[in-house]
């Protein structure tokens, strides 16, 4: 008979450890997966930060929009949306007053900033009203201003979602995904800032897709009655363009292979980005480049350098048009207008369309109507930078258009709308956003600009664009008079 040796005792202790330790490990792993899943919800409403990447210097501000996109096949009704973001407080400073709910849920019910966390809840209203998020649409949910600290370290700094919650207004099931954050680079004061939208110049960034999947896009996370997605512990996902970034070609690298952003056609970009639920994977998302006044090229939406040269697009009809701003009788600086091409059941929006004034104040612009089929009848809606949108349905229109459409042909379309003035009064806010009506808020902006020394504020409220010989903006009684004139005649966007 021999006593049990040390070796045997160690084996026994190891087995006892396994008995207790293995289940504990399983529990810890499952709980961490559960936390991620609980944050994500059903995933049909995607939360994104735009821009997803940017270069900023110390002291500069970074305006980040929280976007909401409905990727389901049906309209979703919501009353409230909440999300928490984490950021590096040694790099960014965030003031809770800078957080704005500015989309379909415009009332900020909670905007709190702690040391490195931002908590936001936006609601529709204090009542029971709901907001409809149409299938396939993307809307702004909120805007947050980050101030880069003067002592911020150079390099990349991430802003990420840590909690999202957008309950369905009727079932209260969380519809949100886990959110896709942003990665922002703090650069030296002397280094040039990267332009977020690459210009369409020869020799620009090109991208050779390493793998272009031919199968249908991977289904998104719609909850099914039977299959519960199983997380893959070995999965990983990295996006070279930092996330949902349509202006930069990128490649998503996963354990299943590489997926490069590519152009399905000259309008549609298939943008790949990483989703983390149930496991990290590449998710394809079709994005209309025409919607951001761009064309799709080499895996990115490319906006041409600002010029009157139309976007080269042999198939798209071209629109050359003239408009005139109320109160402008001479040459003014280049301006940007929004053009909507509309017919029943169809709307194509072209933002930031450059218009250039002649010596009589007539503004001319040209756009390639990518995504607009021709020949067909449409009407146009044109909205100036501080103007009420006007509907145009006939060439040389000289009165209000109640109904009717005009023919848009395949090649050149020349329309002169300068006889029916764009009326000023929908004053943009400090972020350049207009709300589509002329009301007391706009009046307050004009009145405030009367005594303001802030040139930008005065420029926004300078309705007739007049300046002193020294180039200073003039805001005076004429602007008040123009404002009151607009309010009494054309006080809402005419769609």
Partner 1 sequence: MKIKKNNWKPAMSTIVITLSVFIIAESIWLVGKLEEISQRATSSELAVTPIKEEVKIAEPEALIKAAGPAVVSKGEEFILTVSLSARKDFSSDGMDVVLTYDSTFLEPVGVSAKINPDSLFKTAGLNLVEEDKARILVTILDLQSPGGVAVRAGDESDLFTFGFKALKTGKTVVVVNNDRAERRKTQVIKASTSDPLVLEKEDLVVMIK
Q: Nearer to partner 1 by C-beta: 38 or 286?
A: 38
The region that residue 488 occupies, defined by phi over 0 for left and psi between -120 and 50 for alpha, beta otherwise, is alpha
Q: Toward partner 1, which CB reaches closer, 3 or 6?
A: 3
d(CA 207, CA 261): 9
* Stretch in the footprint of partner 1 (CB under 8 A) among 51-59, 103-111, 325-333, 339-347: 103-111
Count CB-CB contacts under 10 A for residue 20: 9
Establish if 106 lies at the interface with partner 1 (CB under 8 A). Answer: yes
Q: Does 151 bind partner 1 (CB under 8 A)?
A: no
Q: Which stretch binds partner 1 (CB under 8 A): 18-26, 59-67, 133-141, 313-321?
A: 18-26
DSSP for 5-57, written as a single string: -HHHHHHHHHHHHHHHHHHHHHHHHHHHHHHHHHHHTT-SEEEEEESSEEEEE
Q: Applying CB under 8 A, does 454 fall inside the site for partner 1?
A: no
Q: Is 80 in the site for partner 1 (CB under 8 A)?
A: yes
Q: Which of residues 225-264 bind partner 1 (CB under 8 A)?
A: 228
127 sits near partner 1 (criterion: CB under 8 A): yes
Strands 318-324 and 412-416: parallel
Total residues at interface with partner 1 (CB under 8 A): 69
The residue within the footprint of partner 1, chosen from 60, 77, 119, 351 (CB under 8 A), is 119
The least CB distance from residue 351 to partner 1, in Å, is 19
Q: How far is the CB of 42 from partner 1 (least distance, A)?
A: 7
The structure tokens listed for 485 are: 């004139």
CB of 290 to partner 1, least distance (A): 25
Residue closer to partner 1, measured from CB, 104 or 243: 104
User: Interface residues for partner 1 in 271-310 (CB under 8 A)?
Assistant: none
Q: Distances from the Cα of 242 to the Cαs of 62, 96, 187, in angstroms?
A: 16, 26, 16
Tell me if 133 sits within 8 A of 146, measured CB to CB. Answer: no
By CB under 8 A, tell whether 22 contacts partner 1: yes
Residues 166-185 that bind partner 1 (CB under 8 A): 167, 172-174
Q: What are the C-alpha distances in Å from 312 to residues 67, 195, 302, 415?
A: 30, 22, 12, 20
Rounded to the nearest whole angstrom, what is the least distance from the CB of residue 23 to partner 1 in the complex?
5
Distance between CA atoms of 174 and 379, rounded to whole angstroms? 40
Instruction: Please say whether the dihedral angle defined by the alpha carbons of residues 477, 478, 483 and 486, taken in this order, is positive or negative.
Output: positive
For 119, how many CA atoms within 13 A lie in the half-sphere containing its CB? Answer: 6
The answer to the question of residue 4 lying near partner 1 (CB under 8 A) is yes
Distance CA 137, CA 443 (A): 32
Interacting residues toward partner 1 by CB under 8 A: 1-4, 8, 11-12, 15-16, 18-19, 22-23, 26-27, 30-31, 33-34, 37-38, 40-42, 80, 82, 104-107, 109-110, 119, 121, 123-127, 129, 131, 165, 167, 172-174, 223, 228, 435-441, 443-445, 447-448, 450-451, 480, 483-484, 487-488, 491-492
């Amino acid at each position: 008979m021999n006593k049990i040796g040390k070796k045997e005792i160690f084996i026994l202790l190891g087995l006892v450890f396994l008995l207790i330790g293995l289940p504990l490990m399983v529990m810890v792993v499952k709980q961490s997966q559960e936390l991620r899943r609980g944050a994500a919800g059903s995933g049909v409403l995607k939360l994104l930060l735009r821009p997803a990447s940017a270069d900023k210097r110390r002291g500069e501000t970074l305006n980040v929009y929280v976007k909401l996109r409905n990727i389901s096949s049906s309209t979703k009704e919501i009353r409230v949306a909440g999300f928490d973001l984490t950021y590096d407080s040694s790099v960014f400073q965030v003031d809770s007053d800078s957080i704005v709910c500015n989309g379909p849920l415009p009332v900020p019910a909670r905007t709190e900033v702690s040391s490195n966390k931002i908590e936001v809840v936006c609601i529709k209203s204090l009542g029971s009203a709901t907001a409809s998020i149409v299938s396939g649409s993307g809307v702004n949910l909120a805007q947050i201003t980050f101030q880069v600290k003067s002592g911020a370290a150079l390099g990349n700094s991430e802003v990420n979602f840590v909690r999202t919650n957008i309950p369905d207004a009727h079932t209260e099931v969380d519809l949100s995904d886990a959110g896709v954050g942003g990665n922002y680079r703090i650069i030296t004061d002397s280094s040039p800032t990267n332009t977020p939208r690459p210009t369409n110049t020869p020799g620009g960034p090109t991208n050779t897709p390493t793998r272009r999947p031919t199968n249908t896009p991977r289904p998104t996370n719609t909850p099914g009655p039977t299959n519960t997605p199983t997380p893959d512990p070995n999965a990983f996902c990295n996006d070279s363009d930092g996330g949902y970034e349509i202006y930069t070609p990128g490649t998503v690298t996963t354990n299943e292979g590489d997926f490069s952003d590519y152009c399905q056609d000259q309008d549609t970009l298939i943008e790949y980005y990483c989703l983390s639920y149930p496991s990290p994977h590449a998710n394809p998302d079709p994005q209309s480049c025409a919607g951001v006044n761009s064309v799709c090229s080499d895996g990115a939406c490319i906006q041409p350098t600002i010029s009157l040269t139309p976007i080269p697009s042999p198939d798209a009809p071209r629109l050359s048009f003239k408009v005139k701003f109320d109160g402008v009788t001479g040459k003014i600086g280049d301006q940007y207008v929004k053009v909507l091409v509309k017919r029943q059941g169809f709307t194509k929006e072209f933002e930031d369309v450059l218009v250039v004034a002649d010596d009589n104040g007539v503004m001319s612009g040209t756009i390639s109507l990518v995504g607009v089929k021709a020949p067909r009848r449409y009407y146009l809606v044109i909205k100036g930078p501080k103007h009420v949108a006007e509907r145009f349905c006939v060439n040389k229109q000289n009165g209000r258009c109640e109904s009717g459409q005009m023919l848009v042909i395949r090649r050149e379309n020349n329309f002169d709308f300068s006889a029916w003035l764009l009326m000023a009064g929908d004053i943009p806010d400090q972020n350049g956003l207009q709300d589509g009506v002329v009301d007391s808020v706009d009046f307050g902006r004009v009145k405030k600009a009367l005594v303001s020394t802030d040139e930008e504020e005065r420029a926004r409220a300078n309705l007739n664009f007049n300046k002193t010989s020294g180039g200073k903006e003039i805001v005076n009684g004429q602007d008040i008079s123009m404002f009151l004139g607009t309010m009494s005649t054309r006080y809402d966007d005419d769609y």
